[in-house]
Chain A
Amino acid sequence: QVQLQESGPGLVKPSETLSLTCTVSGGSISSYYWSWIRQPPGKGLEWIGYIYYSGSTNYNPSLKSRVTISVDTSKNQFSLKLSSVTAADTAVYYCARAQPLLWFGELMGVWFDPWGQGTLVTVSS
């Protein structure tokens, strides 16, 4: 059974870059899409982006200028970098496997399963 675990600093200073890694265990990272989703304290879920194991990416337009998602198949890991953070980026960050939804072979979205347990990242000086 595939399990995901987020890791990285829990505190980041304003204007710096948030960096998180998701380690996949119990299965290969290959042949799947992988995603990052965040949830500010007491608020709802926001999709950040996803990456295919081959390296192709899709990002939320509202974050696209600051986000980079990368994959390391040799380590069975994928990573998130979010630059120029502010207090508004304080959130629990989840990694998840993104299951493709296909319509006549065309990718028409994804659903997220399973999810990691999440990690709280606070942006503060």
Chain B
Amino acid sequence: NFMLTQPHSVSESPGKTVTISCTRSSGSIASNYVQWYQQRPGSAPTTVIYEDNQRPSGVPDRFSGSIDSSSNSASLTISGLKTEDEADYYCQSYDSSNLEVFGGGTKLTVL
């Protein structure tokens, strides 16, 4: 089984761009789709990216996803940061042993 490692926290100012990484410990990041979820304090998670780079309807195009095989990682990029983007973000992918794996989560502070 593999692990997905995320930075514990990131911070950036309103209007700026921030990137959150999600590194796969073994196996290729490209071999299974990566999803990203936003969890605001006291709320359930919501999907912001699925299938590496697809946005569900209603998610603004300020949110984008990508994968980088050279670093074996996925990234969530949020541009034009707003205070409402302050939340925990989790990546998720599939292990071929029929296991859904979540990253440990990244706390985004918009200050």
A binds B: yes
Residue of A at shortest CB range from B54? Answer: A111
Given A45-B102, A47-B99, A47-B101, A113–B90 Cβ distance below 8 Å? no
Instruction: Give the contact stretch, choosing among B16-24, B39-47, B66-74, B77-85.
Output: B39-47
A interface SS class: strand
Task: Determine if B33 and A115 form an interchain contact, defined as CB atoms under 8 angstroms apart.
Answer: no
Q: Does B14 contact A (CB under 8 A)?
A: no
The number of chain A residues with a CB under 8 A from chain B is 23
Which of A35, A58, A108, A113 is within 8 Å of B33, CB to CB? A108
Q: Please, what's the 1-or-0 string for A97-125, where 1 marks a CB less than 8 Å from any CB in chain B?
A: 00101000000111111111110000000
Residue of A at shortest CB range from B100? Answer: A47
Interface size class of B (residues with CB under 8 A): 20 to 34
Instruction: Compute how far the CA of A68 lies from the CA of B92 in the bound complex, rounded to whole angstroms.
Output: 23
- 8 A Cβ contacts from A29-72 to B: 35, 44-47, 50, 58, 60-61
Question: B residues bordering A, Cβ < 8 Å?
Answer: 32-33, 35, 37, 43-47, 50-51, 56, 90, 92-94, 96-105
Question: A residues bordering B, Cβ < 8 Å?
Answer: 35, 44-47, 50, 58, 60-61, 94, 99, 101, 108-118
